[in-house]
Each structure stands twice: as C-alpha cells, then as structure tokens.
A and B are shown apart, each in its own frame.
Chain A
Amino acid sequence: MSELLQLEALGSSGPYRTRNRLTISDLTGTPVAELSLVPRLFVQRSLAALHLAHTVPADERARVIAQAGQAFATGIIGGLSIEEYQHIVSRVSGMPISVVRTATEAITHSAAEAYRSAVRARPHGSVHDWRDPLTRRGDAVWTRRARVLAVHAPGNEPAVHTQWLEALALGYRVAVRPSQREPFTPHRLITALREAGFGTGHVVLLPTDHSVADDIIRAADRAMVYGGQQVVNKYGNDNTVLSQGPGRSKILLTDDDWQPHLDTIVDSVSALGGMACINATAVFVEGDPTPVAEAIAERLAAIPSLPPDDDKAVLPTQPLAVAKATERYLLDHAGNATAHLGGDGIVDDLGDGSAVMRPAVFQVDRSDAPQTGIELAFPCVWVAPWSRAEDIQPLKNTLVLTVINGDEALIDRLVDEPTISNVYIGDHPTHWMRPGIPHDGYLAEFLMRTKAMIRD
C-alpha cells in the first residue's frame, strides 16, 4: 500500500503532495495511485501565480507543446513508461487499451499541431501581431480576451486534453482540475509540458474535491467545464464559461440504401468504446427503422467481451456496481422501446469485480421519443423513424450529425441550424476529428477577440 503511485498536484512552485489524498482504484477495486487533493488556499495561490506570469512568445509555446507531445508518447514521465501509463488508464477507466493507444497518438499529433489548429480561427480581417505593416494603415489585431483559463476536465477519453493545449498555444495560462476517475492523462501531459520548458506558473494541475471546484472557475478569467446536462444548466448563461455537455450525436439515413453504410453506422456507435460525446446516440431512419436496428444489433452482438487491457477489447469495462447501476438506469428509462440488443441487460460480469458493458440497441416508435436523448458511456443507440414531414426538429441539439444520402435542401437546413454543431455528409463516422477542424466551434472563438489598431 505504501508503494502506491503518487499523483501530486502540480502547483505554481512545483509538485505538491498533500495529506488529503484520494485513492484511485482500478476497476476491480485494487488501489493504484493516490491523488493529492489541494485545499482552497492552494488553488487561490496557484491561480494568482498564473495571473502574474508573463506570456511566453508564440514560437516558444508552439515548440514546447510539440516537444511535450512527443515526450508524452515516448518518454518516461513521472516514473511511468508510455506502456505503463496506457495500461493504468485502461485498468482505471475501463477504456479498451487500443483506444487509449490511439488517444495517445492523437495527443502527440494534436500537440504538434496545437498552434496551427488554434490560429486557424483567426478572422481573415485581422493580423497576428501589432507589428504587422498592415496596421500602419489600420487593421485588426487578434488578441486574447483574457489571460487565465480554468478547465474542469473529464475522465472519459484521454484525447479531450488536446483541447486546452490550444489555449496554451494561444498564450493563455491554464489551470486544469482533473477528473477524479482518470487524473493520469493531464498529470502526464502537464508534467511533460513542464519538462519540455513551460514554466510552473503557466500550467498547473489542481486536483480538488467538489467543494473547491468552483473556486478554480471563479479565480480564472475563463473556464471550460465538461459535464452532464446539469453543468450546461448551471453555466449556460455565463459567457465566461464554455460548458461541454452531452453530445447527443446522431445519424440520419434518408433512403432505403443504408446497407453499404452499415460500417459507418456501427463504427459511430462503438468506436472509442462508445464512451465519447462524438459517439452516435441515436439513428434516425426515413422508412422502416426495424431492419436498420436489427442489422446494427447483429453487428454489435458479435463483439466479444474482453478485459480492457486485452489488445482486442472494443467494449468498455466498469466496476460491477457501476455497470449494474447503468444497466438499471437504461432498463428503467427504455420505457416502451423495443429491444434488439441488451433488453435483458448489458452487464457481462468478468468475475474480478468488473464487468464489460455490452452494447444496447433499442427501437422507438416516434422521432420525438425522449429516449433518443439518453447518452450513456458505452455503445448504446436508439433507432427511430424519421420523415420529411417532421423536418429537422428531431435532429436538433446535436454535437455531430452524420447524414447519409441527404439532399441539398435538407443539408442547407441542417448546416443552418444553430443547435447542430457539426454536419458530416456521407460515409464519415460521427467521431471523425482532425486537429484544426473545430470540435464544437473553434476554441479560439471563446478565447480571442480582435482589436482595432492604426499607427504612424
């Protein structure tokens, strides 16, 4: 027990081990690490240091972030090799190890591209630097809206941490409050950033308990907060907080010719262990949804149950109690939906205290059935009928919408709809992402502004 891995807070004067530590256990309940939880006073002082720090020049920022991304995937950081890190994340979060490996590569790639990705959001009608000769005759300079960004990070997917790298690339100082479920990724990333050359006063890791969480947001200029609908409700009206709520990503199939696209549909539901906001939660079918639901169910049913650190694992694993609670929630809320898969339960007990979450496919009889908004952290999809008469109403409030065989008029309407963040046409799964392509708008829209300048 005394040999537990120590995840210290990464404060503005270096790593900091507290007495108040949270034991992080793997899926079977075996303790893996201790996370130092910092008190309010430490949060306060760390944020004060971030406010005082001077911005690192852009060239240096871009170089250091890229270098840290390399080290993240190759180096020994905090005593852990990349393989050890990936294994722990998989054993703690239940995410299939292959997904963790892919996420690791995505972090390296995104770090290399962080600056390029971030500045792609710069308006055409602006320049990077006030020294640009264009400002002599009057132009706009692209500048930071503020200085310090707080991030309440999630623990569902390591690659979500690439988002705040862009803020760092833009010259923000960043305070990350890690998830208590999976603090390993931001700990490794911030340690790598510091080893690559970022000052301790520029990026900090502040694990806290719930009572101090809001203090981090209040002490920062801007904040990104990941969470469920309650987070969206809490911060929705605060324009200094960017809330990242449920994705409720969807697929729309507009004619009978869906069979060639089955791979895309199944992949959208089950890639990334079905744990991401960019996994499809609902499939809307013009015509008869039953054969679609049956086909998805048949494909998903064939996926084997394997522990998460098995190379071939595809499905997520959770502690048995969590898996059972999720199963109960699903079955309690399925209502009159027809089960094509998972109607008798989704828990596959591995016998070691953990359980694989088997896929679920349910069919509802109306496009406005409330079940289509139920997003759970495993491959779980609601198949619903859709007709042109209903127009785009059922497709609103969506992070990613993949449209198969849509016509131009319909696509016009979807692209125009403010509550749909991303529209993919054709064989592109909902989880398609690339550095430099916005995830939910460019982050820089939230972090940057233009300023008029004219000079002699």
Chain B
Amino acid sequence: MDQVPDPEELIEAAIQWHFDPRTGSRFWLERARTLDFDPRRDVRTFADLRLFPNVANELRDIRVEDLIPTGYGPKADVVGVFESGGTTGAPKRVVLLADWMNCLMTHQMQVMDERGDPRDVDWLSLGPSGPHLFGEIATWQARLRGGMKFSIDMDPRWVKKCLRDGRTEEADRYAEHLIDQGVFVLETQDIGIMMTTPPLLERIARRDELVSLINEKLQLIIWGGAQMDADTRDLFRTEIFPEVRLCGTYGSTMILGTATERTGLTENDPMIFDPFSPYISFSVVDPVTGEDVAYGERGQVVMNHISKSMLLPNNLERDVATRIQPLPRQLGDSVADVTPVAVFENEAVIEGVY
C-alpha cells in the first residue's frame, strides 16, 4: 500500500473487487441490481464514476456489517464505525478498516514530514471524538509521531441542535466550557500540536492569556471539521498566532479521511486543499447541470472514496468551492475556499423602508 497506484488501475481494480460476488459488500452487490448499468463493464475512468447514484443517504439506516467487502473474510480488521455530523437528520455511518487507516496514515506522515511538522511532542485534540473521525485521526497521528494525545471531547450535534433551536447562549456556554478544559491541558502539559475547529479557534482568540500561551508553547495548529475563509486565516497567521504554524484540513466522513491544505501558499493565494489521490478525489460541479465548472470558478463539491475497504463514489457534498488545477498525476481536481452552500440574505423583502 506504500505504492500509490495508477488512478485508472485503482478504479478498475476497485470496481472489480466491490462488484464481484466473491469479494464485494452485501450493500454494493444488492445495490448493483437496481443500477441501470453494469459497473464492471461500464466504469473504467474517473468520468465514469458519475454513473453512480449518490448513495450517501442510504448509509443512514444500513447495517454496517453489510458495508464490509466479503473479500475480507469473517474477521475483517475494523478500526471503528464512524458517523457524520448529523446536520441533515439521522447520521450516515461508515466502517473504517485497518488497511485503509494504515494507508491514510502513511500518506499523512509523508505530508507532515514534507511540511516539517514536529515529532515527539504531545497533542491536544479539542474537538469531536465519539462517533466522529476527527478525534480518531488525531489519535493515530499522535501515536505515529511519537506523542501522547490529550483529548477534550466536543459533541457537534448538540451544538448544532442548540443553534438550530435558537439557543445560542447554551452553545456559547458549552464552547467556553470546552475551552476551559483545554486550558488545563495547555497550561500543564507539553503540548506541541493542537487539533481543533475554526469556531473554537475563534473563541480561543478572545482570550488574550490563552493566545499568549499558545504562541509560546505550540508549534502547529491543525484545524478541520468546519471551514475557515482566507481572510480569517490571515488574521490568525499575522495577528493572533504569529508564532504557530496553521494547517487546514478539509474532510468528510464520506471520504474516510481529509484533504490537506497545500503548503507554501502565500496570502494572495486561495486556500487550496489537495486530496489523497487516487483514493480520495474531488470534482467541482454546477449544481444545476452537474457539469464541471471551469477552473477558478465556484461550484458544489463532489467527493469520491475508492479503496479496497470502501467505495463511495459521486457524493455531492453541501459545500461550495473554487475548482483548482490538480497536482501532477492527481485524480480529479483540487478545491479552494470552501464554504457551506450559500444561504442567501432574503433580498425579496419588499415591505418597509429599511
């Protein structure tokens, strides 16, 4: 798995594996019957992945055993079951197998080495653990880089529920409670790397003493789980955490991993994320026509996960991004300046003079 395969070879092999009655998961073998094409015959290229329907919603009520390819045998090495945030109703569930986690971690260690990220420092994960992938990734990364991981758990579903119900004050109190707990760790332990979310980072920025402590102590802040715009990134880099490197990630439960902020971006560059090609790949499409938008244009993000452990193609995410030229030999595109699907200010308000 250290060798990154040729993209089309991966697609070919994965499709054969997932739709072969001897190796495929019960989910895909059953689902194949209702497809109006034969994946093993018709899907060979990246473009062919668009033939697949978006099955993400079906992951809300599927038995997770049915997601594991039978080719792994009865004793597949399962790292864990992970769930989406639950923004749009019941959560979507995926199973993460050990071979995929090892593959992902090998890649991420390479990325971190290339970036010059520290080894042998302790980590603080200030963000979701529980059914979410966020904390699990921190656990593995810390271990592989020779650090101990401290953890403050956050339940993002509760926060969303509070906000949806208009209980902003409760969400505020909860977030402050999380940071209060993080302070105990940061004050007493040798934390070198913190993983957290942009909203928590914004709250941290309100506490001058904590900001000073982080500037003194930390070498790296990895953020993810929500989006950050480039203007905010600059404020963090230049005014708030000038002594700490900031690296962003853009991920989804539905790709069983994250894309990493491209290194070496200047303040004039958009905030670009490169996926772990060819296993994870992105397109940026016009939400109405489904066609790719031009490079530099904004569109909705489509994600694919293709590995031996899982196939989740053609998943239209609720994110908007700029389509960016891929790196050499990359499958699909890179994305930049990711934002949630726009909620437009009500421009149709007519009555009244203001």
Q: Are A229 and B352 in contact (CB under 8 A)?
A: yes
A169 smallest CB distance to B (angstroms): 23
Which of B202, B229, B231 has most A Cβ within 10 Å?
B231
Chain B 333-354 residues near chain A, CB threshold 8 A: 343, 345, 348-354
At the interface, yes or no: B230 with Cβ under 8 Å from chain A? yes
Contact assessment for B232 and A40 in the assembled complex, using a CB-CB cutoff below 8 Å: yes
The complex places the Cα of A45 from the Cα of B354 at a distance, in Å, of 28
Judge whether A211 is part of the interface by a CB distance below 8 angstroms: yes
A446 in the interface, Cβ–Cβ < 8 Å?
no
Known: A18-B231, A42-B235, A244-B354. A228 touches B202 (CB 8 A): no
Q: Which residues of A contact B229 (CB under 8 A)?
A: 19-20, 39
Q: Is A209 in contact with chain B by the CB < 8 A criterion?
A: yes
Partner of A245, one of B202, B345, B352: B352
Whether the pair B354, A325 counts as a contact (CB closer than 8 A) is no
Interface size class of B (residues with CB under 8 A): 20 to 34
Counting contact residues on chain A (CB < 8 A from B), the size range is 35 or more
Establish whether residues A246 and B350, one from each chain, have CB atoms under 8 Å apart when the complex forms: no
Chain B hits for A231, CB < 8 A: 354
| Chain B residues numbered 308-354 whose CB sits less than 8 Å from any CB in chain A | 343, 345, 348-354
Q: Among A48, A156, A277, which residue has its beta carbon within 8 angstroms of that of B206?
A: A48
Query: Of the candidates B235, B348, B351, which one forms a contact with A45 in the assembled complex, judged by CB atoms under 8 Å apart?
Result: B235
Known: A154-B354, A226-B354, A375-B352. A42 touches B206 (CB 8 A): no
The answer to whether the Cβ of B174 comes within 8 Å of any Cβ in the partner chain is no
Q: List B contacts of A179 (CB < 8 A).
A: 354
CB <8 Å contact, B345 and A209: yes
Q: Does A210 contact B (CB under 8 A)?
A: yes
Within the complex, which residue of B206, B345, B350 is in contact with A376, where a contact is CB–CB below 8 Å? B350
Nearest-neighbor residue (CB-CB) of A157 within chain B:
B353
Does B239 belong to the interface (CB within 8 Å)? yes
From A38, A41, A157, A247, contact of B202 by CB (8 A): A41
With A41-B235, A210-B345 known to touch, is A277 a contact of B351 (CB < 8 Å)? no
Known contacts A19-B231, A20-B229: does B354 contact A41 (CB below 8 Å)?
Answer: no
Task: List 21 A-B pairs, Cβ < 8 Å.
Answer: A19-B230, A20-B229, A20-B231, A39-B229, A40-B232, A42-B235, A44-B205, A45-B205, A48-B206, A211-B343, A226-B354, A228-B349, A228-B354, A229-B351, A246-B351, A246-B352, A275-B353, A276-B353, A277-B354, A326-B350, A376-B353
Interface residues of A (CB under 8 A from B): 18-20, 38-42, 44-45, 48, 154-157, 179-180, 209-211, 214, 218, 226-229, 231, 244-247, 275-277, 279, 325-326, 329, 374-377
**Which 7 pairs of residues, A with B, have the shortest CB-CB distance?**
A228-B352, A154-B354, A210-B345, A226-B354, A39-B232, A18-B231, A329-B350
